[in-house]
């Protein structure tokens, strides 16, 4: 039996990149998955690629409370329950604070943080009716330390990490597990823009102890683990998958020895 056999799941931002890899892995583990995105065309393409009746798409803007509530209601209508919520949708605003528009700050905060609040609130209410459930929040190593070009993203992902901890410490007693994944650099359509700067990418990958970026499937495997009973005693854990970036002091690793 697959680890997630017949589990009912929601994955936000599931039409491409890490989100689509998560959807595919949860399906491979036996789950039924409702995923969302803002583009009907991408959603249709993803459904065609997945090619299974166990996958469902709903167009939704998770920065909007009403859309989040509709997503939760759709899952319960489709599956009769909700077992797993993966808050994956994200928006990175590239702007220094002096140049950051209020509109972009609020928009990125709504996608990166408000959506986690809206959906977690509804999921916990549903989990209480069922006797338990799982939330996996996809945060970032940018929530653990500062990236100068992404101050708003760092603030929002840092908030997601501590929200994860805070929710987990209370709801663990209700058989509700809440954990977070913090990826480093992952090759996705969202990071394709960096390919226009090959020297930047070369220097970036050289700074990663593993000497390479991650693939979406590597993140999906961790989400599947956190969603499964294999992680049954994990509550409020912040799982880092960054090729060793946050393990390093920043000092040279290749130095003469002896």
**Which residues are known to be catalytic?**
153
CB of 89 closer than 8 Å to CB of 12: yes
User: For residues 239 and 177, is the Cβ–Cβ distance under 8 A?
Assistant: no
Dist CA 258 CA 251 (whole Å): 18
Rounded CA separation 77/193 (Å): 38
In angstroms, the CA 16 to CA 23 distance is 9
Q: Is the separation of the CB atoms in 26 and 9 below 8 Å?
A: yes
Would you say 67 and 120 are in contact if contact means Cβ atoms under 8 Å apart? no
Angstrom CA distances, 1 to 7, 11, 26, 225, stand at 12, 22, 13, 15
| DSSP conformation class of 144 | T
At residue 70, what are phi and psi to the nearest 5 degrees? Answer: -65, -35
């Amino acid at each position: 039996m697959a680890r997630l056999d017949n589990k009912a799941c929601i994955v936000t931002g599931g039409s491409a990149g890490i989100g689509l890899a998560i959807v595919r892995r949860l399906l491979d583990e036996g789950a039924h998955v409702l995923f969302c995105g803002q583009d009907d065309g991408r959603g249709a393409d993803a459904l065609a690629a997945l090619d299974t009746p166990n996958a469902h798409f709903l167009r939704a803007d998770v920065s909007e409370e009403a859309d989040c509530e509709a997503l939760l209601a759709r899952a319960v209508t489709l599956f009769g329950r909700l077992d797993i919520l993966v808050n994956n949708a994200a928006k990175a605003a590239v702007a220094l604070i002096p140049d950051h528009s209020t509109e972009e700050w609020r928009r990125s905060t709504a996608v990166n943080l408000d959506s986690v609040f809206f959906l977690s609130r509804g999921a916990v209410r549903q989990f209480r009716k069922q006797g338990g459930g799982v939330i996996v929040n996809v945060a970032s190593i940018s929530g653990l330390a500062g990236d100068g070009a992404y101050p708003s993203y760092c603030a929002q992902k840092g908030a997601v990490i501590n929200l994860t901890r805070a929710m987990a410490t209370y709801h663990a007693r209700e058989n509700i597990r809440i954990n977070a994944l913090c990826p480093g650099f992952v090759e996705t359509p969202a990071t394709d823009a960096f390919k226009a700067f090959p020297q930047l990418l070369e220097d970036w990958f050289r700074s990663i102890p593993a000497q390479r970026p991650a693939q979406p499937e590597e993140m999906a495997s961790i989400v599947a683990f956190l969603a499964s009973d294999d992680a049954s005693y994990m509550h409020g854990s912040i799982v880092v998958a960054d090729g060793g970036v946050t393990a390093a002091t920043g000092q040279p690793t290749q130095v003469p020895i002896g």
